Structure 1
Amino acid sequence: MVNTVSALYDKYGRDLSYKNRGLLTSYYEVDFDNKHLFLGETDSIEHCIDSGSFGSIWQVIDPRNKRYVALKKVSNIFDSLQRVTMAFRELTILSNIHHDNVLNLRDVVIPSVKDHFCEMYLITEMMLASLCDHLDSGPVRMEKTKLFMYQIMHGVKYIHDSEIIHGDLKCENILMGHNNQLKICDFGFARKEGSEDFSTYGTIQFLAPEVLMGSRECDKSLDIWSVGCIMAELLSGDILFDEDTEMDMLFQICRVLGTPSTKVLARAKPEISEALKKRPHYSFSTDSLMYLSDEMTEKDAQLLENLLHLDCKLRYTADVALKSDFFVHGREKFHQEICTCCEHDEGCVVGVFPLELDEHDTFEIDSSWEEDLLEQSEEEIRKILFEKISSIAHGYLKIPLKLNTESEKWTELVDYNTNKLYESRTNSYEPVTKKQCRT
């Protein structure tokens, strides 16, 4: 089969390649055996499916294969150093990730104007819903919770083995696909371990106590805390710690998990440590976690206790957690029902699911560019980002895509008013309220 390049013209010789198309189109028309990749009207199919301070996410069609993909528009990149840093991080991390339980970046759209672009467009695989949407129908049974939790922890292990902290794990950032497959998404708050900037981490209801207490010794364990909060939410159907301010969150955490030890309080900001010392002293009992589900066993509660350990240095790692019976059971279900490795892995075929199946080739991120950004002008940063986007796009070895300005959805995409629930935070942490967390 010979692939030829051709174009569509009307009787007056006007180029119709981009007419009546969806939001994405290729730079040139491709003819495979004289069959144009021409989609026709797609306005009833393409629509916005989510929005936030980052921009918006759209369900669109890839004109190269007529498959659904998600188009993420990252808006106002150059409004602040924080926003451009988050854009760089997400682009860098997603372009290096290859894992069953992490969202897959399919392509990026090269900006049409090199010197004036203000948005970044990422193309990812299309998922069905978020885990947050799934919880709208109520708590998840223990059997399915084990399957879900294994996939989340499996993805977290891969991220952590690559020395990356996600920073905003919550049900809203866990996407569901066919056959109950889960994928972690939204790496805007992610960063390489060792970063000292924890002022802009995540959603308050899922933040680890060391972050709420202002500790500067945060590490991968803050993601494990978030995973523990997700487990509790799956089993109960409700957010475990559901307050709107840092201090109210800490008070509720103490009531459920007990008052932090003197060693933990020593790492907190002095004013927060003093405030907690003045509160009543609480002792922890596994009974405070057993109520989450009628199916919860004492062993399950002990696992959750270790995921939610108040001392981040004693909290389980992903490696340790995956060895527990809870996750072993989830691993078995995953490899029996979902995984992509069983077709070529003899161990899976015979029903043996060793811990080695959790191992994947990791990636290494060079974060030195973050320091360089402080020395660059906006024009220089824009040039660097353009070159990075172009390099990643060309690396996919596909027909390059661009936005179709002839689409009836174009104006809606450009003018879409982003949801103001998640305000951009440039210098200080501002919590997201509990209602906004589940919106």
Structure 2
Amino acid sequence: MEPDESVAMTQEVVTQYYRAPEILMGAVHYTSAVDLWSVGCIFAELLSRRILFQASAPVQQLDRITEVLGTPSFEDMPTACQGARDYIRSRPHKPAALNQFYSLSDQATHEAVHLLCRMLVLNPNKRITAADALTHPYLDEGRLRFHSCMCSCCTPGAQGRNFCGDLEPECPLPFDYNFEKSLTSVSRVKDKIYKFIQEQQHRTTSKLPLCLNPQAASLAKIQNARVASGAELP
């Protein structure tokens, strides 16, 4: 983050397929809205199992975006350079085709498409924020499962789980990457994950599981192995 808007920021940021349109259009300063665009691209990729905006070069990347979201108005390109504005103006006008998001997969529900449309907004000033995205109804089930199984802010009680007042609190401090300094080998990563799972098992009293993809090949392999060994399926 760079609060000083007079400071020029690099345009060589973010893998091209997930690069926000304002960067593709030559913005010299941008905000965390570029990350929400990337999250939207990844969300669409999780739904469809394919890259949503895939092109061979940045200019074609911008064309691919406008094919789906439509030709932006000048109001929706507040940080675009003059070259990008001239290019957009020279191209045929295209209407938005957001209904195609429903065809990404069978899991593209109305709530999923609504959240996707709020993240994939051409104008960065109108794009949903991370805090608002986390409170979106699409994430209600995942939020409940997390606070029933994995969180440390809710506590077990005599009548069940005592949920905290705010199930989606905002972190007041920047994310700390210092924990990565100890992850110097694959074995240490495995050990860290194993200890984390053990801590969660001792901490929670709820048996509500996290969602798994029932069609996953890895899940089928595990179940077949358990059946072969005579173990009881979970």
TM range (shorter): 0.5 to 0.7
Q: Residues of 2 paired with 1:358 and 1:345: CA distance?
A: 19
Tell me the alpha carbon deviations over residues 200-247 of structure 1, each in whole angstroms, 9 at most, x when there is no partner.
312111110001101134101000001101100101001111112111
1:9-88 matched pairs, under 5 angstroms: none
Gaps of 5+ in 2: 185-234
Q: CA deviation at 1:334?
A: 1.6
Provide the identity percentage.
Answer: 31
Using the alignment, how far apart are the partners of 2:114 and 2:95 within structure 1?
A: 15
User: Which sections of structure 1, spanning at least 5 residues, go unmatched?
Assistant: 1-163, 165-191, 366-391, 403-439
- The residue aligned with 1:212 is 24
Q: 1:356 to 1:203 in 2, by over 3 A?
A: same
User: Relative contact order: is structure 1 or structure 2 higher (C-alpha 8 Å, sep ≥ 6)?
Assistant: 1
Contact 1:258 1:282 survives alignment (8 Å) = yes
SS of the aligned residue for 1:289 comes to: helix
Match of 1:246 among 41, 47, 58: 58
Give the alignment's TM-score, normalised by structure 1: 0.37
Contact 1:243 1:249 in 2 (8 A): yes
Structure 1 residue aligned with 2:88:
276
Larger radius of gyration: 1
Tell me by how many angstroms 1:279 deviates: 1.4
CA distance in 2, matches of 1:322, 1:240: 22
Distance 1:196 1:329, change over 3 A: farther
Give matches, 1:221-260, under 5 Å: 221-260=33-72
Aligned Cα RMSD in Å?
A: 3.0
Instruction: Looking at secondary structure, tell me which structure has more strand per residue.
Output: 1
1:396-407 matches, within 5 Å, as none
TM-superposed CA distance for 1:253, in Å, is 0.2
C-alpha separation in 1, matches of 2:82 and 2:131: 33
Which residue does the alignment assign to 1:320? Answer: 132
Aligned-pair distance for 1:336? 2.2
- Per-residue CA deviation, residues 398-438 of structure 1 (Å, 9 max, x unaligned), is xx9x9xxxxxxxxxxxxxxxxxxxxxxxxxxxxxxxxxxxx
Aligned to 1:350, what secondary structure does the other structure show? strand
Seen in structure 2, the aligned counterparts of structure 1 residues 276 and 330 have a Cα distance that, compared at 3 Å, is same
Question: Which secondary structure state, in structure 2, belongs to the residue aligned with residue 358 of structure 1?
Answer: coil
Tell me if 1:350 matches 2:161: yes
Distance 1:248 1:310, change over 3 A: same
Question: Match for residue 362 of structure 1?
Answer: 173
> Per the alignment, in what secondary structure is the counterpart of residue 128 of structure 2?
coil
Task: Map 1:371-386 onto structure 2 (within 5 A).
Answer: none
Distance 1:354 1:328 in 2: 15
Asked if the contact 2:68–2:98 (Cα under 8 Å) also holds between the matched residues in 1, the reply is: no
Task: Give the Å deviation of 1:354.
Answer: 4.8
**Normalized per residue, which structure has more helix?**
2
Query: Would you say how many aligned residue pairs link Structure 1 and Structure 2?
Result: 178
Distance 2:24 2:30 in 1: 11
| Secondary structure in structure 1 of the residue aligned to 2:111 | helix
Do the aligned partners of 2:70 and 2:93 also contact (CA within 8 Å) in 1?
A: yes
Partner of 2:107: 295
1:193·1:220 contact (CA, 8 Å) conserved in 2? no
String of CA shifts for 1:10-34, please: whole Å, max 9, x gaps.
Answer: xxxxxxxxxxxxxxxxxxxxxxxxx
| Cα distance, 1:262 vs structure 2 | 1.7
Per the alignment, do residues 212 and 304 of structure 1 end up closer, same or farther by CA in structure 2, a change over 3 Å counting? same
